Structure 1
Amino acid sequence: MMNLTHWQLLVAVADLANITRAAERVGMTQSGASQAIAQMEAHLGMPLFRRERRHVAVTELGEHIIAQARDMLGAWEAIRAFADENQGLGHGRIRLASFPSAFSHVLPDLLGPFRRRHPGIELVMLEGSDVEVESWLEDGTAEVGVMLNPPPERSPIMLGRSEWVVLVPNAHPLARRSRQQGVSWAELADEPFIAATGGCRNNALSLSAQAGVFLNQIRVTVHDWASAAVLVKEGLGVAVLPESTVPVDLAGVRMLALQPGIFRSYGLVQAPAAVGAKPVQALFSMLRGTFNAATSTAPRA
Structure 2
Amino acid sequence: MMNLMHWRLLVAVADNGSITAAAERVGMTQSAASQAMAAMEATLGAQLFARESRRTLPTALGLQVIEQARVMLNALQTIRRTVDESKPMLRGTIRLASFPMVLAAFLPPLLRRFNQLYPGIEVTALEVSDDEVNTLLDADLIDLGVVLNPGPERKATVLGRDNWVAVLPMDHVFSRRPAEASVALEALLEQPFVLATGGCTVNARSLAAEAGLALQDVRVEVREWSSAFSLVREGVGVTLVPEMTLPAQRQGLRVMPLTCPVHREFALVASRTRAPSAAATALLKMLAD
How does the TM-score come out when normalised to structure 2?
0.67
8 Å contact kept, 1:178–1:256: no
**Cα RMSD between the aligned structures?**
2.3
Alpha carbons of structure 1 residues 178 and 202: separation in structure 2 relative to 1, 3 Å: farther
Aligned equivalent of 2:44: none
Report how many residues are paired.
210
Aligned equivalent of 2:144: 144
Cα distance in 2 for residues equivalent to 1:103 and 1:226? 16
Amino acid aligned to 1:161: R
Aligned equivalent of 1:225: 225
Aligned equivalent of 2:10: none
Q: Which shows bigger deviation, 103-112 or 149-158?
A: 149-158
Cα distance in 1 for residues equivalent to 2:197 and 2:84? 41
Return the offset for 1:93. Answer: 0.9
2:183 counterpart of 1:192 = no
| Structure 1 residues 67-146: aligned runs within 5 Å | 83=83, 87-146=87-146
Cα distance in 2 for residues equivalent to 1:200 and 1:179? 30
8 Å contact kept, 1:158–1:265: yes
Return the offset for 1:171. Answer: 1.4
Aligned equivalent of 2:174: 174
How does the TM-score come out when normalised to structure 1?
0.64
| Structure 1 residues 24-63: aligned runs within 5 Å | none
Cα distance in 2 for residues equivalent to 1:111 and 1:276? 17
Cα distance in 1 for residues equivalent to 2:88 and 2:256? 50
Alpha-carbon displacement from aligned partner over 1:94-133 (angstroms, at most 9, x marks no partner): 0111111111221111111111221221111111111111
Aligned equivalent of 1:234: 234
8 Å contact kept, 1:148–1:267: yes
Return the offset for 1:189. Answer: 4.0
Aligned equivalent of 1:248: 248
Q: Unpaired runs of 5+ in structure 2? A: 1-78
8 Å contact kept, 1:97–1:128: yes
Alpha-carbon displacement from aligned partner over 1:110-163 (angstroms, at most 9, x marks no partner): 111111221221111111111111111111111011111112332211111111
8 Å contact kept, 2:189–2:215: yes
Cα distance in 1 for residues equivalent to 2:147 and 2:84? 29
Alpha carbons of structure 1 residues 252 and 141: separation in structure 2 relative to 1, 3 Å: same
Return the offset for 1:180. Answer: 4.5
Aligned equivalent of 1:281: 281
Alpha-carbon displacement from aligned partner over 1:222-281 (angstroms, at most 9, x marks no partner): 011222122212222100011111112222101111232211111111123452411011
Alpha-carbon displacement from aligned partner over 1:23-51 (angstroms, at most 9, x marks no partner): xxxxxxxxxxxxxxxxxxxxxxxxxxxxx
